[in-house]
Chain A
């Protein structure tokens, strides 16, 4: 749902300009230094990008899903690392509070997340707990008006810069029903960080382990104030995030299409631009067609979400198709570049590595397939 086409037009246009004038020119530097320049993060704050999905009452923009998707498409046009800076505050790092938090928790954290003053992060995965998210092993035991947490969280996006974690720990029986979501401040006693992960792609993004050793948090850190709701909270958070990620994948695919076309029009082999060779045209056409399919899917699903429909299946389909599609588009775009595509002088080289992640996190492709089939079969 688009509430006001003129306002959204201005918003999307500004993000597009910012992406193309400020972020795209900084991509090579981010690749080289494995860090986002602080000046750019400041600009992202000034622009209001940290609060896209946070309600207006808490200082965010309160974008509808369709509006958020349109902004995510634009942000996806550049290195994914930039999106990652604001990704957790707009997604897994804030949504838990938004959907299930108490009024006090919302008032305490959301305004500062919307402004980018505070970075929120989401800590579910553990060394022995990945796709089977209900089997969380980190424990939380109650001691007076505190909980004591013990365990390790793995591959946590933005952990090195986070001020607060939405963190899943076991307070009760085995299985999903015994998991509770906590808001753990990064400066809690007993919380430490592992060394930065050395990743394949998305250079400039920061992930690491979060280690909890007799970590003390106050009892009112439980999201919503009720134990045993953590798995449900986590699933709600991931559901909305799937459409955002899918839109980012479409943005990445669009960029890859443009890079491939730009190269194909200027590269001459056999006496003409390779864009005039039919086999190259076939690769370009497949890239554009799949990108367009992804765009249509994610826009449709976002509209249904805003209309209040149950879109668990459609969100999983979008995440599955768009992340796999971005992988195929990246592979073809690189192929169109010939040997140049294997060289770091061309953006396709890192986009090819960057898009690989989208098939893994916030639910692997296999997990999306499981969700889709489960929804299909349940509906009969």
Chain B
């Protein structure tokens, strides 16, 4: 069964017909040609399909396209302001936060969403002082980025990049 939906993707409204079973990830990649979210597992486990969905980081492989009619989606491609990279993107380049790069768009979106969560004062599993604003040390970064896996094991540089991007 098909349904017609509208999505605002990286600042542009797009209209498309999707089968009701289509995930947001497949709609973006196969239907709209937006390929920066990657399909690593289709299971919610690897984080490579992460985007900002109505402002929050979410895995698009576990979201149904029809359920998100009218949603605002920002992918890694949409983070940059024209030629001007987002500070987190620049930090990934400067700190060599990638090897093959497959996980990178998801890492970058996740990091941007995560920094917003920290700014809003959300605690994590490793936050000790629940009263004050969380301090973003490496342990916090690792915990808060635990939804994004990297098969190349570029973790030390990813953490370094996020440390830089957070400044």
A and B, one complex? Answer: no
